[in-house]
Amino acid sequence: MQKTMTARVIGGIGAAALIGCVNYGFFVTQLTRENQRATQIMLERLEGLRLYNWDQLCYSNMIPSTFTTYYYPAITNGQSRGIPYQGRITIGVPTLNPTASYSDRMRAITVTLFWTNDSGSTRLVHRRSMTTYSARDGVQNYVYNN
């Protein structure tokens, strides 16, 4: 009788550990997918912004400072589009060496994303950021002038 009870306790502990491992695996997979989607969104925005000419980049209001996109942006017909990603775009003088002679001809473009996901009993807020540089005499002049 005592051996049976001990075996059941050990089996219960093993089952609980296995369930915990499976739940953790699903959590890590979900987090990895969200991070990958955030990277795709930031890269999409930055690659588009790098093709703007200097005047559009610095002196126009063509670039929104904030945006919202979703995990599944193409879903229609009332279906869930998934997690909303709130983004912020900032364009400024590079901070690495602001006194450099070329600093007035360069801009640092940063895209920052925020999103929240439910992880059981807690809500986790995530933040990712990506920066690129654009120069007055950069690739955008080649694209528009040739």
H-helix or E-strand containing 72? none
Q: Which residue has 């959590």 as its token pair?
A: 27
Instruction: Tell me the C-alpha distance between 146 and 141, whole Å.
Output: 8
Helix (H) or strand (E) holding 142: helix 139-145
Q: Provide the residue-wise pLDDT of the chain in tens; the chain has 146 residues.
A: 788 888 888 888 988 888 889 888 888 888 888 899 999 999 999 988 877 888 888 888 888 999 998 877 667 777 777 888 999 999 988 877 767 777 788 888 999 999 987 665 667 889 999 998 888 877 666 655 54
Phi-psi region of 108 (alpha: psi -120 to 50; beta: other; left: phi over 0): beta
**What is the reported pTM?**
0.76
DSSP category for residue 49: H
- Residue 95 CA to residue 102 CA, distance in Å, equals 12
Counting every residue, how long is the chain?
Answer: 146
Query: Per-residue DSSP letters for 7-34?
Result: HHHHHHHHHHHHHHHHHHHHHHHHHHHH
Taking the domains of the chain in order of start, what are their residue ranges?
2-145
